Amino acid sequence: MEFGFLVGSIVKILALLAYIYGILWVMAQPSRWVKAGGLIVAFGVVQLGLTKFGNFQILNSFDSGLLFQASAMTMVALGLNLIYGFNGQFSLGQWGFYGIGAYTAADITYRWVNGDARGLVVIAVGTILGAVILTGINKLLNQIRGVPVMSAFTLYLIGSIAAGYVAVMAGKLLFPVFQPLLGTNLEPGILATGIPLQVVFFLAVILAGVFAAEISFLLGVPVLTLGSDYFGIATLGFTIVVNVLMVNSDTILPFPEMKGGRGMVGIPKLTTWFWAFFFMIVVIVIMRNILRSSTGRAIMSVREDETAAKAMGIDIAGSKLMSFIIGSLFAGMGGAIYAHFIGFLSPGSFDFLVGFNPLIIVVFGGLGSMTGTIAASFGWLFFLEGLLRVLLGQMGTEAPTWRYVLYPLTLLLLMLIRPQGLLGTVEWGFLKAKEVLVRQKPKPASTDTPAVQA
Amino acid sequence: MQQVSTPSQTTLPLVKPHTRLAWVGQLFFIVLGLAVVYILGKNLISNPTLFANIFISGLQLGFVYAMIALGYTMVYGIVKLINFAHGDVFMVGAFVSFFAVTRFNLHQWPLAVFPSIPPMVGVVIGSISVIILSMLICIMLAVTIERVAYKPLRDAPRIAALITAIGVSFFLEYFGALNFVFSPRFIPYERPFEVVAWYIKGGIHQVVPGTQPPDGSITFSNILLIIMLASVLVQIFLQFLVKRTKIGVAMRAASYDKQAARLMGIDVDSVISFTFAIGAAFAGLGGVLYAIAYSSIWSQLGILPGLKAFVAAVLGGIGSIPGAFVGALIMGQAESMTMGYISTPMRDAVAFTILIIVLLIRPTGIFGEPEKEKA
């Protein structure tokens, strides 16, 4: 039985990796119709695998759980790869943003299904207004020039506090409007079921990401000016602070529904394979397009040589901030997917020790390789979560600890033998950067164009 | 004809970058500082004895952090590496003493071998031998880590070494959490000697064991005195070592410029190993004293004290030994005051807030010297 499971798992891992590569291959095709059709087919294949035909199901519920977790992990790890792999800023704060995204999205939908629209309204108004205010201040400060970091941070902080205050007021004002439409937990109203709920879930994922991105902006403004390893420690501190706030979310923070250290229960399980797949592909495509744009080249040039990049006229601080914000956006979205898959959030799963997982994935997959990160995320979850748990099943409760004994050893070996990660900067298919063609001299016109006139 | 770029420090005057709106940031810090002063002042006036007790507990924490911070500051000074595993060496020190005391009764060997000596002397010698055993094992561990994990990466990018350090730290924590090693549970620590507490209320009285001291009294224990004594002795010893001995000169030379030190005939590798060993020895000492003071140990004991000690080292100016001491005392007070007046769980948050603020206001720390630019 164990052996059958083992073989089955290995086949599933290989099939999934082949599947992901297949998606990427389809995305690399030039035709837009092939892309769209390929994506629909790809989605349908897994949906078919997840469907139950009588007693037979290719991907059982354990596998589908891993699938959701792997897509959430892919988003987080891609975000970290953008920050650390492509931009060279050693961040340990990714897990904190993941937690922020998870709790924000969970709070929105939890309140929504319990007849309380304030979660959605406050977060929506707050993030949109905050984005407007922060961008405005940023534009203003860019014009003034020469503003010290702490002054800028203070202004941003005041701006976001003002946005938050307005958002809370707006929530109080708009709260009664939604009340009859939402109903209660037992008798859900028209907006708390069916398609409106799915729309709210979609908004919750996006808003959670944007909220995490705004927090990362506020954190990044002062912290990104520190040196490389100080930045790591400060972001690690951020993860610890977020975790502390989660443990005290019902005492220090005014969120009784999060229940502090006991964990938040009753989150509607809205993550389906469609949503996980959708957001994962969105994240992959956004990141690939960013990396191919001039912004992405600026981000990568900062990693290679800051001085040279500065000499080329690249805004170093802006590039760092940009990659940090986008990475956190991805992490927040991943957290939202995770929260609605598992239906239960406890601060223990956002501990900073667990927070090294995305770092391990990124280092394994290759610093600066999206392909490697995606493969490593899926492989990591399936191999180490699924397979190892079965293999070490005989060891009982010790198995997870053994797993964490083996991770660092592999990490150490990897660092000693191949510090750039297994795949290095190799990209494949759709994710591959365009080859820069050597500019050719324009050929003489006479040989190319036959004399039509004559 | 040849326009060679001139060295900037000789020809160009140091132009201060043009700044605007600097007062906003300064106002922010002033408001923050005033809020801290207000909270502390209000509590000091309303309940001075509580304030004194919190101060004493902060002192105890601070002196323990001082012993750990030394290892961080010396290692960072020489190899520019945040040695994450240092906190776990501290944890191993605590556990070695636990096994020595509980399993092997090492603290009772003087009384077992020489039954005629007074029990007080026997306890002192026994405890010291437990501490020395912990220090030795920590030294062995740290030197092994340095040789196996860090030495091959000495020329690699700094972040690669940092990830390795995190990996070593993880390995020690989770290897320690295995059942046949230290087990993942909190373990009650059996002290090698009795804790005696005193209280001050119209003179110094001893607290009768098993009873509470009367209300409105300031209490302290012999552990506090031992920790303070040990920490100060360590400081004096290190000052002597670094300033007066040959190996200290070698350490300073290696931290200033490794290449030049090598040319001067200094064996830099062994100096680095020696630095790790010294730091680990004091971490082991700190671990034993921490375990005795707080009497509960587990396999992840070292993470947070380690990180806070690192923050303390940054606060004092990384690379500076008196800086680590002062920074650790400030950190201990900050943490203790947060626990007492804001909220117990926020104790972990305050350390990193301090780190960020210090790095923004004065990146070199209190005692730090501005970093020498290296080519």
Residue A331 C-alpha, separation from nearest chain B C-alpha, in angstroms: 21
* Position A196 in a domain: yes
B312 within domain boundaries: no
DSSP, residue by residue, A383-449 = IIIIIHHHHGGGGGGGHHHHHHHHHHHHHHHHHHH-TT-SSTT---GGGSPPPPPPPPPPPPHHHHS
Mutation choice for A interface testing from B27, B158, B356 by most A CBs within 10 A: B356
Question: Of B21, B62, B351, whose CA–CA distance to A244 is shortest?
Answer: B351
Overall domain count for chain B: 1
pLDDT reported for residue B190: 85
Mean pLDDT of B147-155: 88
Query: pLDDT for A219-242, tens place per residue?
Result: 999 888 877 778 888 898 899 889
Mean pLDDT of all residues in A371-394 = 73
Tell which residue, B148, B168, B158, has the closest CA to residue B80.
Answer: B158
* Chain B nearest CA to A289, separation (Å): 27
Please list every residue in chain A whose beta carbon sits closer than 8 Å to the beta carbon of residue B359: 226, 230, 234
Say if residues B217 and B199 touch (Cβ distance below 8 Å). yes
Would you say residue A429 lies in a domain?
Answer: yes
Looking at the complex, does the CB of residue B159 fall below 8 Å from at least one CB of chain A?
yes
Which of chain B's residues have a Cβ under 8 Å away from the Cβ of A415? 153, 156, 160, 163-164, 167
The alpha carbon of A77 is separated from its chain's Cα centroid by a whole number of angstroms, namely: 7
Q: Is residue B240 part of a domain?
A: yes
Answer whether B162 sits within 8 Å of A229, measured CB to CB.
yes
The answer to whether residue A240 is domain-embedded is: yes
pLDDT bucket at A179, cuts 50 / 70 / 90: confident
Average pLDDT, integer, range B211-229: 85
Half-sphere exposure of B10 (CA within 13 A, CB side): 3
* Tokens read off for B247: 């190996």
pLDDT at B55: 93
Residues of chain A found within 8 Å of residue B300, distances taken between Cβ atoms: 353
Confidence of residue A394 (pLDDT cuts 50, 70, 90): low
**ipTM for the predicted complex:** 0.84
Please report whether residue A204 resides in a domain.
Answer: yes
B17 contacts A405? CB cut-off 8 A: no
- Looking at the domain assignment, is residue B326 inside a domain? no
Cα–Cα distance between B159 and A231 in angstroms, integer? 11
Domain count along chain A: 1
Report the percent of chain B where pLDDT is more than 90. Answer: 41
Does residue B264 belong to any structural domain of this protein?
Answer: yes
pLDDT at A69 over 70: yes
Question: Is A45 contained in some domain?
Answer: no
| Higher-confidence position of A368 and B95 | B95
Any domain includes A355: yes
| Neighbouring C-beta atoms of residue B223, cutoff 10 Å | 20
Question: Residue A219 falls within a domain, yes or no?
Answer: yes
Q: How far apart are CA B169 and CA A304, in angstroms?
A: 29
pLDDT digits (tens, 9 = 90+) for A278-333: 898 889 889 988 988 889 999 999 988 888 999 999 989 899 999 999 999 999 99
CB contact under 8 A, B349 and A244: yes
pLDDT average, residue stretch B85-113: 90
Q: Is A142 within 8 Å of chain B by CB?
A: no
Give the pLDDT score at A437: 59
Taking the C-alpha atoms of residue A150 and residue A395, their distance in angstroms, rounded to an integer, is 52
Q: Which domain holds residue B210?
A: 58-300
Q: How far apart are CA B136 and CA A217, in angstroms?
A: 47
Boundaries of domain holding A225: 68-115+183-370+405-438
Question: To the nearest whole angstrom, how far is the Cα of B65 from the nearest Cα of chain A?
Answer: 17
Q: How confident is the model at residue B7 (pLDDT cuts 50, 70, 90)?
A: very low
Q: Provide the pLDDT confidence category of residue A454 given band limits of 50, 70 and 90.
A: very low
Question: Is B268 among the domain residues?
Answer: yes
Rounded to an integer, what is the distance from CA B23 to the centroid of its chain? 35
Sign, CA dihedral A28-A32-A37-A39, equals: positive
Contacts of A237 in chain B (CB under 8 A): 307, 349, 351-353, 355-356
Tell me if A327 is assigned to some domain: yes
Confidence of residue B6 (pLDDT cuts 50, 70, 90): very low
